[in-house]
Amino acid sequence: MKFFIDTADLDEIQEASEMGVLNGVTTNPSLMKIAAERAGQSLDFHEHIARICDMVPGDVSAEVTAVDFDGIMAQGRALAAIRDNVVVKVPLILDGIKAINALAQEGIRSNCTLCFSPTQALLAAKAGAAYISPFLGRVDDISSEGMNLLQEIIHIYENYGYTTEVLAASIRHPMHVLQSALLGAHVATMPLGVIKKLLKHPLTDIGLAKFLGDWDTFKQNQAG
């Protein structure tokens, strides 16, 4: 399973990158807004995406803000020209599906975002999206079951051998990661806080404290 970090904050990307488990980055307009606020300065979108691409060897999703075909195509081409590892994030709307298909014919990879139903995901795969991003947490937020959506998408893609990678998005906690991995999602994108929570276990902390305490005793006994 590939791990992407869901942020546009360079410090967070650097921290996750240093763990050695990072395979890519997903950004969106909201995450760009947060990154600029934290940095306390305006950020040039294309320059910022270039900086992220230079920090991470894997795919970096950069989202278009146009909602018409021509606008999505123009923004998509410009984003794809930044670096080879840019993936153009396109919303799951009619003109978005058309653009995903046209971008694919130009060799430009897309991440189809804001997916909330398996039939939307089927359209994205048929259009040639490189990634489909079902938003698990936002489905849970409206008292529905995000994991059912993920399971159905994976099932449908396996039925027909679609090569579109399933990118579990809007992940809020480690159980989302565990369940996505059990279902076979190709990628999970998550905030830095969730990545860190994956390694926590109280028995690890208790066990380590015991080992270190016993080691101190052992060393004292040897010296004595």
Which pairs count as long-range contacts for 166-169, CB under 8 Å and 24+ apart, including other chains?
Answer: 166/121, 166/131, 166/132, 166/134, 167/4, 167/26, 167/111, 167/131, 167/132, 167/133, 167/134, 168/134, 168/136, 169/6, 169/26, 169/113, 169/133, 169/134, 169/135, 169/136
Is residue 89 among the annotated active site residues?
A: yes
Which residue of 3, 135, 157, 162 would you call a contact of ligand E4P, by CB under 6 A? Answer: 135
Site for ligand E4P (CB under 6 A): which residue of 137, 173, 192, 198?
Answer: 137
Of 89, 126, 200, 210, catalytic: 89
Q: Cβ closer to ligand E4P: 103 or 139? A: 139
Is residue 85 close enough to count as binding ligand E4P by CB under 6 A? no
Burial class (CB in 10 A: 0-12, 13-18, 19+), 84: exposed
Q: Of 110, 151, 180, 189, which one interacts with ligand E4P (CB under 6 A)?
A: 189
Rounded to 5 degrees, what are φ and ψ at 141? -60, -25
CB of 37 to ligand E4P, least distance (A): 15
Q: Which amino acid is present at 206?
A: I
CB closest to ligand E4P, residue no? 170
* β-sheet bridge partners, residue 167: 187
| Only segment of 14-22, 45-53, 129-137, 177-185 that touches ligand E4P (CB under 6 A) | 129-137
Residues 96, 154: Cα–Cα separation, whole Å:
21
* Options 26, 75, 110, 151; binder of ligand E4P; rule CB under 6 A: 26
Which amino acid type is present at position 82?
I
Position 169 contacts ligand E4P (CB under 6 A): yes
Q: Under the rule (CB under 6 A), what is the footprint of ligand E4P?
A: 6, 26, 28, 113, 133, 135, 137-138, 169-170, 189
Could you give the residue numbers annotated as active site?
Answer: 89
